[in-house]
Copies of this chain bind each other. A is one copy, B any other.
Amino acid sequence: MKELEERILRDGIVEDGDVLKVDSFLNHQMDVELFRAMGKEWVRLFDGEGINKIFTIEASGIGIACVAALEFGVPVVFAKKSRTRNIAGEVYHTEVPSFTHGGVSDVIVSKRFLLPSDRLLLIDDFLANGAALEGLIGLAEQAGATVVGAGIAVEKAFQPGGERIRAKGVRVESLARIKSMTSGQLEFC
């Protein structure tokens, strides 16, 4: 998606260790008009797929998911990073390794909000190693829901997540796919 790629080139900051900072418009300060354009693009890409719910994970995916959901005309459910695991029976649970903070997060979603009849679009801001997205897929599987696909803002295509998720048969539509980031220079696929 040209608009997102241009914005990344203009306002993104490439830092050491394959870090791309897009916090001025995507995941700290948030340009909701850009999110609306992204939502419209996913509506176009997933036209006719019968998506009835968007499923994301806190925190930075929530804003993009909610604005995209307005375009789809569907509700959002977000999986929570829980510090209290003892809600036995009421939630689906999985574990997601955190590369930012180290360690593992318990991630939960209420059983009431993921149903076997659901046709889900997963939304997240970044796809790199794929851990968060695999967590969402695992929760959807526990519920017997159908994952129609995943809408990602920025995919680091030089990291293994995208390939691994696509190898599971999940359709991934990333609006900007980064081929390489070297010495401050950024190239799209």
Contacts and interface: CB of A to CB of B under 8 A. Distances in A.
Interface of A: 23-25, 28-33, 35-36, 58-60, 62-67, 69-70, 73, 75-78, 80, 83-84, 100-101, 109-110, 112-113
B70 A67 contact: yes
A30 B78 contact: yes
A30 B66 contact: yes
A23 B67 contact: no
A60 B62 CA distance: 8
A59 B32 contact: no
A80 B101 contact: no
Nearest to A57: B59
Given A24-B112, A59-B78, A60-B62, 7 more contacts: A25-B75, A29-B75, A29-B77, A29-B110, A32-B66, A59-B59, A63-B78
A28 B78 contact: yes
Contacts of A60: 62
A99 to B, nearest CB: 13
A71 to B, nearest CB: 10
A181 to B, nearest CB: 21
A83 B59 CA distance: 14
Contact of A80 (B28, B33, B65, B78): B28
B63 A65 contact: yes
Contacts of A73: 33
